[in-house]
Amino acid sequence: FFFSRLIALRAASRSPSPSVFTPSAAMSLADLVTVINDLSAASQFNQLLTHLQSQEEMMIQQLPQLDEVLPALRPMEHSLGMVFILKAKAAAVPLSNLQAVHTFLQQCRRLLLEGDPVQVQMVPSHFATVCAKFANAAVAIAAPAAALRPLQHAAQVLQPSPAHFTPVHTEVLRVALLARHYPAAARLLDASDLLEVAKEKTGVAPRDLLLYHYYAGLACCGLHRFSDAVRYFTLCYTAPTHVVHAAMVEAYKKCVLASLLATGEQPAQPKYTALPIQRYIKTGVPAYSELAEAFATRSPAELRSAITKHEATFARDRNLGLARQCVGALVRRSIRSLTQAYLTLSLADIAAAAQLESPAEAEGHVVAMVAAGDISATIDEPQGMVHFSESADAFDSPGAVAAMEASISGAIGVATKLQAMHAQLCTDSQYLSRVMRERVQSRWEDDGMGMGK
């Protein structure tokens, strides 16, 4: 069917066929295919880009016929043309129409998996729009996992270098979370140092960065990497802003819970947190403040009471699961503190110190903590005693040495990147002019205060 349509389309420029398209539409679309083929073959991509930009309105007007054009194009050779055509379709594909969604997914999949990086990077915003619609379409048919591999490849295609952050990285994390495919999210977070943010090269917007760090925090919570989750959530809610963004608020709520799970304390609020966020945190999240205060009492009963009191709020925010995990974290923290003061302790004493209901419950927690590597201990069941000991790991194994070398190498790499970024900032005209303006303003304020005195 597609081949017969393609033949009719190519013949339309010589003898338009009303049975295929209206004459004007056939001529316009045939000319478009011809131009894409000819200029792509000659690698005249700048000229092709100019032509496609002038034809965007025509493509929107001829949306029903665009499906017949796409099979005539090959992603590796005609990526630029396919991006424009799919972007025109992206705004009009109804997510409630399953047939239209499946067709759009198949068309996008070809481009995302086989696209030419050179052509794609000429239109980063258009390509990011196509990727976002592709992700939404996959979610609409309850198949987010099917979008993972195409989006992962699309992110690499759009990157000018492995260090560049792109809007597609945000979509990768989003569909990974919806598919509950946490290993895919972990691979992205562990394998990439996305330190370069270039709007002109990747089409990235502040919203993309906010959501990326928010989704990264969610992924780390799913992986039980709560320290990493705190770091990502903090990057989200401390971003410069003049207004309170919904993602920042949700990031702070989850940051409180993740911090309690990771360190047993509320997250330290950085000095550079925007004033609107600081003001909102003081009065806008009472349920989370009360939960943190209850955790600080080291009383599981008070903590459970606080969770029960605000259960509706936590459920509405989809944080009830994390809140309930805080009870177990508090108990583990109480038991861990006992290992620093005692060498031997009865299960009954452990239950009393951790405010547990019975020695059997205390034994269950100790066994779980030993299995997880949180503490080193042995249980004398006949006597009901627990003997705590130092960790058996002497850190002299090949694995420990390799881990230490990897940490040192990572620290050196971070230091090198910081030095490079510092050198770049020192020669950036916009940064230097802003610093000078702030210094001048500070001097004026000091002079004003001095005159007032």
Look at residue 20 in the predicted model and tell me its pLDDT.
34
pLDDT one-digit tens code per residue, 194-206 = 888 889 999 999 9
Answering whether pTM is above 0.85, one says no
Of the chain, the percentage scoring pLDDT greater than 70 comes to 90
Predicted local distance difference test score (pLDDT) of residue 393: 61
pLDDT tens-digit profile, the chain (453 residues): 333 343 344 444 443 333 333 333 434 788 888 999 999 999 999 999 999 999 988 888 888 888 888 998 999 999 999 999 999 999 888 988 899 999 999 999 999 999 999 999 999 999 999 999 999 999 999 999 999 999 999 999 999 999 999 999 999 999 999 999 999 999 999 876 788 888 999 999 999 999 999 999 999 999 999 999 999 999 999 999 999 999 999 999 999 999 999 999 999 889 999 999 999 999 999 999 999 999 999 999 999 999 999 999 999 999 999 999 999 999 999 999 998 888 899 999 999 998 888 999 999 999 999 988 888 899 988 888 999 887 666 566 787 788 888 889 878 888 888 888 788 888 888 888 877 887 777 666 555 554 444
- Distance in angstroms (rounded) separating the CA atoms of residues 115 and 81: 11
Tokens 């951790």 appear where?
Answer: 354
Place of tokens 């003001």: 279
Instruction: Report the pLDDT value the prediction gives residue 157, as an integer from 0 to 100.
Output: 96
pLDDT of residue 382: 87
CB 202 within 8 A of CB 159: yes
Per-residue confidence (pLDDT) for residue 28, from 0 to 100: 72
Amino acid symbol at 443: R
Identify the sign of the CA torsion 306, 276, 216, 415: negative
Can you say whether the dihedral through the CA atoms of 175, 179, 180, 182 is positive or negative? negative
- Quick check: 145 and 112 in contact, CB under 8 A? no
Q: What is the DSSP letter of 146?
A: G
Question: Degrees (nearest 5) of the Cα angle 202, 208, 211?
Answer: 155
Q: Which two tokens stand for residue 370?
A: 């030993």
> Concatenated DSSP letters for 209-270?
HHHHHHHHHHHHHHTT-HHHHHHHHHHHHTS--SS--HHHHHHHHHHHHHHHHHHSSPPPPP
At residue 426, the pLDDT reads: 84
Cα distances (Å, whole numbers) of residue 283 to 265, 279, 309: 19, 7, 18
